[in-house]
Each structure stands twice: as structure tokens, then as C-alpha cells.
Chain A
């Protein structure tokens, strides 16, 4: 029973991680690539880590306490990942726009119309 839950978590995680990496190849410019890589790899990593956390807490109950330590540390690593990933994506997008890489096939670009904000 609990094994099935872990398998489902890991499968969903691998699927979304793969999708994010594939979108990195497929999309045309840096902003759309950021969409794919940030959202999908964060979501996928949440699910693979949830698999590990479930595994740890289940074996904490059954076997020994060291598995519980594993689950707690995995949770903190997941927290660090979820907080830092979107901030990093924002930093890359801002740097790209300020260094003069504009979105391809863009319908509207309010930021370019507004001009430089970097002063």
C-alpha cells in the first residue's frame, strides 16, 4: 500500500522533471525556457522529495529512528529548494532583460516601453 504511494510520487516527479528539461530544449527564447525549467523542475523535485519523505517516515515507524532523521532533513532540503528556485528565476529574467535580451515573438513588451529601471 505505502509502496504504491511512493511509486506514484516518484513517477509523477520524474515525469515533470523530464518535461521541464524537455521544454528547455523546445522553447524559443530565454523567458519561455525559464517558465518550463522553473515550474516543472520545482514541482517534479517536490514530488521526488515527497517520495523520500514518505519512505523515511514509514520506515521510522517500522524499522529504526535514523529513517526519521532522513525524512526531516529531506524536508528541509525541499524547503530550501522551493524558496530559492523562483527567486533565482526572477534574478535570471531580470538580468536577461537588462542585458538586452528581449522576448521573441512578443505581442506586447511594457517593460521595454517603460525604459530602463536600473538606475
Chain B
């Protein structure tokens, strides 16, 4: 019940953002608001198990959202560095690829998804496979330095951030 309500509110907020500037009640027309309420209730009922698995509400904590916004800074910096690195490799064609394994010790699905996406967008690494029993990540590394790498070498201290955001 609670999860359906929160999903419906989130869907309604997204609907309001998408239809901003259509009318006179604040910024929205009355038809859009009625349609939005109806559609977000339907979306909340059908999507109640997607956003909060097993009635787990830890992501509602605003401190986690603040950490997420703070995380965007180092993340965007690493992403810019990644692109300059790839630019160098596209122009020179100097690669030394391989697939390595790291164990980040994250427990939740959301955390491991976020780490996988962050790794894909940052320097020289691409997540290929997840071992769902132990949450180990297999990573394609474009410039292999060691065959048994440390976590810090590959993901720039992202696991520390993600443990604060998602665990």
C-alpha cells in the first residue's frame, strides 16, 4: 500500500514536470492535472513492486540523495578524463585489453547496478558480467596493468560513495 502510494506520487511529479506550461492553475491546465492523477494512480498500482522491492524504504532518506548529488562531482570529472583517454586510444590505436575480476563487496542490487554503470562510463573499463551469487564484477579493461588489480585502480573510490548512497 505504502509502496503503491509513493510510486504514484513519483509518477505524478514526473507527469507534472513533463506537462509544465500548459495552462493557468499555477502552470498546469485542469485537464492535465485530472489525467495525471488518474494515470499516476494506475502506474502506482501496477508498478508497486518495481521501485521498492520487499518493502525496503532506505532510498527515501534525504541524506542519501544529498550524497548522490555530491557524488556527481567526482563522477563527471572521472567521465571527462575517460573521454580524453579514449580519444588518445582512438587516435593512436594503442590498446592492451583483457577481462579482469573485482570483488566490490556491495550487497544490494541497486548498488551493484550503479557501480556497473559508473564503471562503464569511466576510464578504460566496461562491465561485462556480474556473478549474481557473490556480486563479483567481471570488467573489460582496455589497458591491463596487472592481472589481479586492486579495486582502487579500476573504480577511483566509487564503491565508498556507493556504499553511502545505496547500502
Known A35-B86, A106-B98; contact A94-B129, beta-carbon cutoff 8 A: yes
Contact, CB under 8 Å: A107 / B97: yes
Contact, CB under 8 Å: A111 / B128: yes
Near B by CB (< 8 A), chain A positions 9-23 give 16, 19, 22-23
> Across the interface, which residues of B come within 8 angstroms of A69, CB to CB?
20-21
> Across the interface, which residues of B come within 8 angstroms of A97, CB to CB?
99, 128-129
B94-117: contact bitstring with A at CB < 8 Å (1 yes, 0 no)?
011111110000000000010011
Q: List residues of B whose CB falls within 8 A of some A CB.
A: 17-18, 20-21, 79-80, 82-83, 86-87, 89-90, 93, 95-101, 113, 116-117, 120-121, 124, 126-129, 131-132, 138, 140, 142, 144, 147
> Across the interface, which residues of B come within 8 angstroms of A35, CB to CB?
86, 89, 124, 126, 140, 142
Cα distance, A5 to B106, chains bound together (Å): 40
**Can you list 21 A-B contacts (CB < 8 A)?**
A19-B87, A23-B89, A26-B90, A29-B97, A35-B86, A35-B140, A39-B120, A43-B80, A43-B83, A72-B17, A73-B18, A90-B120, A90-B127, A93-B126, A97-B129, A103-B97, A103-B99, A104-B97, A107-B147, A108-B144, A110-B100
